[in-house]
């Protein structure tokens, strides 16, 4: 269980939109979240969410991006900021599609998620119970 009396913990990292970055982020994030004392289930869910958010940057935005991870009380907030102003869209379920289910997965795993636009692009975020 996470101690809710702890001050918020956070980590921000910047990345180029290259295919190898997803694996690097996954390894670093697993170590970070485990070090923060999060359960294996929470860590696994967080890794899936971040993997999908990063995949969207690689597939659609194709810009340099920042990963922002913040644990505050019992809420783990995962966010990816990229330079593309376009808003993400949840696609209707298609059992024959090879792709396009990422945001459906994020929506299922997260307690809340959304997208905030700004002059430099957008931030897609998700909050998970910690």
| CB neighbour list of residue 30: distance below 8 Å, 6 or more residues apart | 43, 47
Residue boundaries of the structural domains of the chain: 9-129
The answer to whether the predicted template modeling score (pTM) of the entire model surpasses 0.75 is yes
Q: What is the pLDDT of residue 10?
A: 96
Q: CA 95 from chain center: how many Å?
A: 24
Q: How far apart are CA 99 and CA 65, in angstroms?
A: 22
Q: How far apart are CA 1 and CA 10, in angstroms?
A: 18
Q: How far apart are CA 25 and CA 54, in angstroms?
A: 9
CATH hierarchy code of domain 9-129: 3.30.565.10
| pLDDT per residue as tens digits for the range 12-61 | 999 999 989 999 999 999 999 999 999 999 999 999 999 999 999 999 89
């Amino acid at each position: 269980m996470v101690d809710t009396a702890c001050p918020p913990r956070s980590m921000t990292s910047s990345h180029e939109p290259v295919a190898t970055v997803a694996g690097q982020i996954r390894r670093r994030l697993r170590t970070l979240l485990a070090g923060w004392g999060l359960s294996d289930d929470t860590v696994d869910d967080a890794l899936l969410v971040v993997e999908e958010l990063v995949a969207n940057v690689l597939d659609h935005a194709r810009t340099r991006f920042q990963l922002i991870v913040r644990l505050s009380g019992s809420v783990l907030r995962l966010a990816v900021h990229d330079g593309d102003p376009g808003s993400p869209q949840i696609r209707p379920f298609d059992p024959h599609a090879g792709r396009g289910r990422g945001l459906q997965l994020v929506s299922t795993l997260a307690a809340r998620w959304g997208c905030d636009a700004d002059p430099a692009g957008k931030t897609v975020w998700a909050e998970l119970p910690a």
